[in-house]
């Protein structure tokens, strides 16, 4: 399904569909990812979420959302390749499924525009109480990445592997930069966001005709984002990094690079290659590491197509580090040396196509697929994408597998004495 | 085939009971690409003492066996069932909870073939000594993963505090020690008792024609034979109404502590609709502790809680509880403040206008979830095991009164059935 795009200052993409019981409105605002702006934008997202002139406190906001039949409203930041994306999301029930007859679309979009364009600020400064509270929450969030060991290991892998690149920046920024922000500095961040971000708005649901400008609100005219400069450099040899922590299970993560990104003609082939490597239960990693050798509960790979990374993650016993690392290396080698069987190839393609089609069954999924393409500079209609996957050959997979190069290995493991007692 | 129409929600649920007792539900969704199917047994981690089918004496099986069985079902003589689904373009998975084990797949075409695979693999046990041994390594790593998960530890410490002997206190996956004792004969005993069609529900939601599905299931089931069965006899434990311990603290390698306040409730023993009890408990917790409540906003602005703060209502076959908490820099102070909030609401009463807003909010959330075929199949199954329809949830939510939730707060939130679970930072001296 393709959206109808209204190309005014801010493009609005409408997916008109009766498939859902809700309407979703999503505003995607992106800027280049940078260590100088990440903390500020992360804080801005939270401060805008927490108050506006008309809804000055969380109780006012929640009261309004509850009255809109539990409409959800969220603002957050994320990393998509070298972009820092601030997302405003609203989802609310289509009134035809409710006992009440109110124009929820008009009310919900007016609320969204209010939160974006009329924040709780005086002069050129945000409300200092909210700014301080949200700073504290974000510093806590940054510190507690450590508490979830998989997330922590992945953050550390990316920091080590991409240390000289924008991609190493965490979407929440770092705690020191967060501490240095205040209500005035944050207002500068806000003005820069209003003036410079590249913005796409998505509307998904059974909405018929509506007032486009009421949905986006009054953004000033803007010029296109400059291309993101990114010097990815490969180390002369593979980097190995280890860290000890007081934990039971070791977290092993391997970072690979590939020149194939989402705008590349080989993109679909790279997706299939990653699928064969570690994307599914029938993939080499799951079959060899878990099913054949009982070395792990999970072993998978993920393809970061905006940036050109393949990351492998697994949880293992510390003493089996060398063995698991070798087995993982052999799986990639197998894909690089032998043509994959037609059967496995077909199976992987079907799974991928299934995944893409399933994504379209959620309002956010339709919008996300389109936005991914938009960021990569190449929007593919879903049917075209599926066709590209169907045409991938065993030779394409060989070529893609041979473009994948190991860069960094990160291992977070238990301390010495602990290991002895977990080995039964 | 029975047909139940829900006009307000624009949904229709079709159902049929097969001659062998299997209950089948179909919910067609217009415009969807995907079909999501679950095949679920009314059997979970708490069912560890029971009378095996065809026997008189009860047995006790090792902790974690329902989950172990779930893992082993995916293997048969030809190999890996994941692989079969993969070749047919479907993604398969499974999960085990306290009271249910569910096998599921989603696909965007070839639903009929995949549905046969789902029914056939779950109805065909195949365990060998060798494959059972092999699985112990994998599940051992799964247990090890949960041992490092602070939120998981927080919750199971809470259950261990609340329950004297009820098996809800046991981790769903068991322990390294308990799974090591599992044999292939144990697996067959559990399988034949709990995987009888009369103890199971098949739920299909998505891009399907109801009559096609029923016809497929009828012919699939007609080819199989099962011993007759009345009902499963589980050994009931005599669990006191009071909590076992009033608090416990575990130290882990984390930077921000966590606190969880828990109440052991008696709502599961209500003879009326359990889902009604669940709705009123959810409404009470949202009214008192949800975002936008006075309690939430005050504690947040004082820096005692962050947006991990939440409350949970849990009503299962033989136990029920409420849990409230999240991350906090000061677990003891947060605990004390939460207790004050509850005591204050008990003496001064709650805000009825807020209660009405929470009802609207939860209603909206319910309708929103009807977009999801996963939600429809898994919750549809849960409701069906309780003798209700997921579409009734909207009505049930509308029946709850302010007096109901006030009564619940007075009767069930006491001192003797309460506990606190804390996971704290491990300092240098604790290492």
Q: Residue B34: enclosing H or E segment and its boundaries?
A: none
| Full 3-state SS string of A339-377 | CCCHHHHHHHHHHHHHHHHHHCCCHHHHHHHHHHHHHHC
Do A243 and A197 share a domain, yes or no? Answer: no
Query: Is B90 in CB contact (< 8 Å) with chain A?
Result: yes
Query: Is A324 in CB contact (< 8 Å) with chain B?
Result: no
Q: What span, in angstroms and rounded, lies between the C-alpha atoms of B346 and B414?
A: 10
User: Considering the domain boundaries, does residue A232 fall inside one?
Assistant: no
CB contacts under 8 A, A 77-116 vs B, are 91-93, 97-99
The DSSP letter of residue B217 is H
Q: What span, in angstroms and rounded, lies between the C-alpha atoms of A128 and B405?
A: 38
Q: Residue A58: enclosing H or E segment and its boundaries?
A: helix A58-67
Residue A181, SS3 per DSSP? coil
Q: What span, in angstroms and rounded, lies between the C-alpha atoms of B115 and B111?
A: 6
Over its C-alpha atoms, chain B yields an Rg (Å, rounded) of: 23
What are the backbone angles phi and psi of residue A283, rounded to the nearest 5°? -70, 165
CB pair distance less than 8 Å for B300 and A133: yes
CB B105 within 8 A of CB B114: yes
Supply the pLDDT for residue A232: 65
CB pair distance less than 8 Å for B108 and A353: yes
User: Considering the domain boundaries, does residue A30 fall inside one?
Assistant: yes
Which alpha helices (H) appear in B238-372, and where do they start and end?
Answer: 274-289, 294-301, 331-348, 352-369
Report which of B125, B133, B66, B116 is spatially closest to residue B94, judged by C-alpha positions. B66
* Closest-approach residue (CA) in chain B for A22: B368
What residue spans define the domains of chain B? 2-234, 247-430
Distance from CA of B372 to the nearest CA of A (A): 7
Do A121 and A262 share a domain, yes or no? Answer: no
Q: Which of B30, B86, B364 sits opposite A93 (nearest CB)?
A: B364
CB pair distance less than 8 Å for B137 and A294: yes
Q: For residue A132, give Cα distances in angstroms to A117, A119, A128, A183, A227.
A: 21, 16, 6, 8, 34
Contact residues, chain B, for A99 at CB < 8 Å: 8
User: Catalytic residue positions of B?
Assistant: 70
Quickly state the pLDDT bin for B170 (edges 50, 70, 90): very high
CB pair distance less than 8 Å for B141 and A21: no
Whether B388 shows a pLDDT value over 90: the answer reads no
Report which of A39, A196, A44, A221 is spatially closest to residue A120, judged by C-alpha positions. A44
Q: Encoding tokens for residue B262?
A: 């828990």
CB B207 within 8 A of CB B33: yes
User: Considering the domain boundaries, does residue A281 fall inside one?
Assistant: yes
CA B105 from centre of chain: 18
Do A188 and A249 share a domain, yes or no? Answer: no
Q: What span, in angstroms and rounded, lies between the C-alpha atoms of B287 and B355?
A: 5
Q: What span, in angstroms and rounded, lies between the C-alpha atoms of B284 and A248?
A: 38
Do A187 and A50 share a domain, yes or no? Answer: yes
**Lateral strand order in the sheet of A4-7:** A4-7, A11-16, A198-205, A22-32, A83-93, A72-80
Do A202 and A275 share a domain, yes or no? Answer: no
Supply the pLDDT for residue B431: 47
Supply the pLDDT for residue B31: 86
Report the complex ipTM. 0.88
CB pair distance less than 8 Å for B306 and A141: yes
Distance from CA of B164 to the nearest CA of A (A): 28
Contact residues, chain A, for B364 at CB < 8 Å: 68-71, 92-93, 98
User: Considering the domain boundaries, does residue A231 fall inside one?
Assistant: no
Q: What span, in angstroms and rounded, lies between the C-alpha atoms of A274 and A343?
A: 16
Do A250 and A208 share a domain, yes or no? Answer: no
Give the tens place of pLDDT for each residue, A153-186: 999 999 999 998 999 999 999 999 999 999 999 9
Do A268 and A209 share a domain, yes or no? Answer: no
- HSE on the CB side for A388, CA within 13 Å? 18
Please report the number of interchain residue pairs, chain A to chain B, with beta-carbon separation below 8 angstroms. 184
Give the tens place of pLDDT for each residue, B100-156: 999 999 998 899 999 999 999 999 999 999 999 999 999 999 999 999 999 999 999
* Closest-approach residue (CA) in chain B for A104: B364
Q: Which of A294, A346, A351 sits opposite B134 (nearest CB)?
A: A294
Residue A193, SS3 per DSSP? helix
CB contacts under 8 A, A 114-133 vs B, are 129, 133
CB pair distance less than 8 Å for A294 and B31: no
Query: Is B357 in CB contact (< 8 Å) with chain A?
Result: yes
CB A416 within 8 A of CB B431: no
Q: What is the end-to-end Cα distance of chain A in Å, rounded?
A: 54
CB A351 within 8 A of CB B89: yes
Contact residues, chain A, for B181 at CB < 8 Å: none
Query: Is B110 in CB contact (< 8 Å) with chain A?
Result: no
CB pair distance less than 8 Å for A347 and B373: no
Q: Which of A98, A291, A424 sits opposite B176 (nearest CB)?
A: A424
Contact residues, chain A, for B307 at CB < 8 Å: 137
Query: Is A315 in CB contact (< 8 Å) with chain B?
Result: yes
Q: What is the mean pLDDT of residues B355-380?
A: 91
Mean pLDDT over the full length of chain B: 94
Residue ranges for chain A with pLDDT beneath 70 = 100, 229, 231-233, 416-424
The DSSP letter of residue B292 is T
Do A60 and A155 share a domain, yes or no? Answer: yes
Topology annotation, domain B247-430: Cytochrome Bc1 Complex; Chain A, domain 1 (3.30.830)
Q: What span, in angstroms and rounded, lies between the C-alpha atoms of A361 and A370?
A: 14
Do A153 and A286 share a domain, yes or no? Answer: no
Do A95 and A31 share a domain, yes or no? Answer: yes
Report which of A32, A21, A213 is spatially closest to residue B10, judged by C-alpha positions. A21
Distance from CA of A236 to the nearest CA of B (A): 34
Q: What span, in angstroms and rounded, lies between the C-alpha atoms of B424 and B254?
A: 7
Do A291 and A372 share a domain, yes or no? Answer: yes
* Residue A126 CB neighbour total at 10 angstroms: 26
Query: Is B10 in CB contact (< 8 Å) with chain A?
Result: yes
Q: Which of the residues A23, A51, A62, A127 would you substitute to probe the B interface, choosing the one with the greatest number of B C-beta atoms within 10 Å?
A: A62
Q: For residue B303, give Cα distances in angstroms to A90, A133, B368.
A: 27, 7, 32
Which residues face A200 on adjacent strands?
Answer: A28
Query: Is B136 in CB contact (< 8 Å) with chain A?
Result: yes
CB A300 within 8 A of CB A328: no
CATH number at residue A26: 3.30.830.10
What are the backbone angles phi and psi of residue A50, rounded to the nearest 5°? -95, -10
Q: Encoding tokens for residue B424?
A: 């704290």
* Closest-approach residue (CA) in chain A for B355: A66
Give the tens place of pLDDT for each residue, B311-340: 999 999 899 999 999 999 999 999 999 999
Query: Is B9 in CB contact (< 8 Å) with chain A?
Result: yes
Percent of chain A with pLDDT over 70: 96
Contact residues, chain B, for A17 at CB < 8 Å: 31
Q: What span, in angstroms and rounded, lies between the C-alpha atoms of A263 and A282?
A: 27
User: Considering the domain boundaries, does residue A225 fall inside one?
Assistant: no
Supply the pLDDT for residue B230: 78
> What is the CA angle A103-A108-A112, rounded to 5?
155
Query: Could you list the residue range(s) of the whole structural domain that residue A73 is in?
Result: 4-216
Q: For residue A32, give Cα distances in angstroms to A81, A262, A377, A385, B121.
A: 10, 17, 15, 26, 50
User: Considering the domain boundaries, does residue A145 fall inside one?
Assistant: yes
* Closest-approach residue (CA) in chain B for A350: B89
Q: What is the mean pLDDT of residues B158-164?
A: 98
- What lies within 8 Å, CB to CB, of B302 at 6+ separation is none
Do A46 and A175 share a domain, yes or no? Answer: yes
Which alpha helices (H) appear in A162-236, and where do they start and end?
Answer: 175-179, 183-196, 212-216
Q: Residue B426: enclosing H or E segment and its boundaries?
A: none
Supply the pLDDT for residue A423: 39
Q: Encoding tokens for residue B270?
A: 């209500």
Supply the pLDDT for residue A405: 96
Q: What superfamily in CATH does domain B2-234 come from?
A: Metalloenzyme, LuxS/M16 peptidase-like (3.30.830.10)
Mean pLDDT over the full length of chain A: 92
Query: Is B368 in CB contact (< 8 Å) with chain A?
Result: yes
Give the tens place of pLDDT for each residue, B51-108: 998 899 999 999 999 999 999 999 988 888 988 998 898 999 999 999 999 999 999 8
CB contacts under 8 A, B 235-264 vs A, are 252-256
CB pair distance less than 8 Å for B292 and A245: no
Q: What is the mean pLDDT of residues B345-356?
A: 95
Whether B301 shows a pLDDT value over 50: the answer reads yes
Q: What span, in angstroms and rounded, lies between the C-alpha atoms of A376 and A30?
A: 12
How many domains does the structure of chain A reveal?
Answer: 2
Domain B2-234 shares a fold with domain B247-430: yes
Supply the pLDDT for residue B350: 96
């Amino acid at each position: 399904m393709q959206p109808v795009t209204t190309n005014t200052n801010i493009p609005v993409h409408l997916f008109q569909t009766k498939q859902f019981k809700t309407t979703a409105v999503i505003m995607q605002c992106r800027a280049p990812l940078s260590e100088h702006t990440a903390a500020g934008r992360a804080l801005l997202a939270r401060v805008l979420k927490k108050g506006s002139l008309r809804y000055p406190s969380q109780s006012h906001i929640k009261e309004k959302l509850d009255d809109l039949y539990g409409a959800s409203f969220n603002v957050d930041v994320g990393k998509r390749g070298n972009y820092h994306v601030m997302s405003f999301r609203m989802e609310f029930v289509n009134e035809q499924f409710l006992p009440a007859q109110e124009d929820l679309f008009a009310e919900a979009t007016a609320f969204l525009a209010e939160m974006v364009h009329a924040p709780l600020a005086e002069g050129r400064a945000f409300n200092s109480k909210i700014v301080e509270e949200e700073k504290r929450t974000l510093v806590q969030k940054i510190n507690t990445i450590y508490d979830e060991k998989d997330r922590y290991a992945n953050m550390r892998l990316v920091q080590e592997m991409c240390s000289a690149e924008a991609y190493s920046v965490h979407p929440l920024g770092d705690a020191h930069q967060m501490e240095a922000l205040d209500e005035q500095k944050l207002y500068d961040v806000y003005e820069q966001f209003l003036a410079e971000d590249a913005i796409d708005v998505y509307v998904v649901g059974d909405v018929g005709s509506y007032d486009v400008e009421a949905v986006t609100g009054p953004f000033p005219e803007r010029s296109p984002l400059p291309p993101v400069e990114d010097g990815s450099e490969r180390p002369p040899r593979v980097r190995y990094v280890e860290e000890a922590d007081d934990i039971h299970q070791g977290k092993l993560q391997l970072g690979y690079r590939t020149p194939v990104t989402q705008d590349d003609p080989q993109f679909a082939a790279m997706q299939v290659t990653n699928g064969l490597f570690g994307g599914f239960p029938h993939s080499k990693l799951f079959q060899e590491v878990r099913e054949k050798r009982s070395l792990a509960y999970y072993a998978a790979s993920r393809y970061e197509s905006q940036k050109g990374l393949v990351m492998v993650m697994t949880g293992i016993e510390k003493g089996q580090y060398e063995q698991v690392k070798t087995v993982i290396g052999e799986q990639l080698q197998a894909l690089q040396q032998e043509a994959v069987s037609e059967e496995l190839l077909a199976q992987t393609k079907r799974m991928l196509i299934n995944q893409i089609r399933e994504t379209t069954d959620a309002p956010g999924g339709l919008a996300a697929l389109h936005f991914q393409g938009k960021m990569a500079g190449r929007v593919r209609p879903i049917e075209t994408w599926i066709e590209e996957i169907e045409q991938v050959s065993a030779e394409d997979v060989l070529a893609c597998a041979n473009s994948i190069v190991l860069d960094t290995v990160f291992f977070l493991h238990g301390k010495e004495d602990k290991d002895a007692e977990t080995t039964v | 085939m029975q047909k139940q129409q829900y006009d307000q929600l624009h949904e229709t649920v079709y159902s049929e009971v097969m001659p062998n007792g299997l209950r089948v539900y179909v919910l067609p969704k217009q415009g969807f690409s995907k079909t999501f199917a679950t095949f679920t047994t009314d059997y979970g981690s708490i069912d560890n003492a029971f009378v095996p089918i065809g026997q008189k004496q009860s047995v006790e099986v090792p902790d974690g066996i329902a989950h172990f069985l779930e893992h082993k079902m995916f293997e048969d003589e030809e190999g890996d069932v994941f692989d079969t689904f993969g070749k047919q373009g479907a993604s398969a998975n499974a999960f085990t909870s306290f009271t249910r084990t569910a096998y599921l797949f989603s696909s965007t075409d070839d639903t009929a073939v995949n549905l046969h695979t789902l029914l056939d693999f779950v109805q065909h046990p195949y365990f060998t000594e060798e494959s059972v041994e092999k699985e112990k390594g994998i599940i051992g790593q799964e247990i090890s993963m949960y041992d490092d998960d602070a939120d998981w530890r927080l919750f199971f410490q809470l259950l261990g505090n609340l329950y004297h002997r009820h098996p809800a206190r046991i981790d769903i996956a068991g322990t390294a020690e308990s799974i090591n004792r599992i044999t292939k004969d144990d697996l067959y005993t559990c399988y034949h008792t709990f995987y009888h069609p009369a103890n199971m529900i098949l739920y299909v939601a998505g891009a399907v024609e109801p009559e096609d599905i029923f016809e497929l299931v009828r012919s699939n089931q007609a080819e199989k034979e099962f011993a007759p069965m009345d009902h499963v006899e589980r050994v009931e434990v005599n669990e006191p109404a009071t909590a076992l311990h009033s608090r416990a603290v575990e130290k882990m390698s984390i930077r921000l502590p966590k606190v969880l306040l828990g109440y052991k409730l008696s709502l599961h023993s209500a003879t009326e609709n359990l889902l009604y009890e669940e709705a009123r408990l959810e409404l009470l917790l949202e009214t008192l502790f949800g975002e936008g409540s006075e309690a939430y906003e005050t504690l947040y602005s004082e820096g005692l809680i962050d947006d991990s703060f939440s409350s949970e209502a849990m009503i299962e076959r033989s136990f029920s509880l409420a849990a409230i908490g999240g991350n906090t820099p000061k677990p003891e102070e947060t605990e004390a403040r939460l207790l004050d909030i509850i005591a204050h609401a008990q003496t001064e009463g709650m805000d009825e206008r807020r209660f009405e807003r929470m009802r609207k909010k939860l209603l909206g959330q319910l309708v929103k979830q009807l977009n999801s075929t996963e939600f429809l199949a898994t919750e549809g199954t849960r409701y069906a095991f309780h003798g209700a329809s997921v579409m009734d949830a909207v009505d049930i939510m509308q029946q709850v009164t302010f007096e109901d939730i006030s009564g619940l707060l007075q009767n069930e939130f006491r001192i003797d059935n309460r506990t606190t679970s804390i996971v704290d930072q491990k300092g240098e001296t604790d290492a």
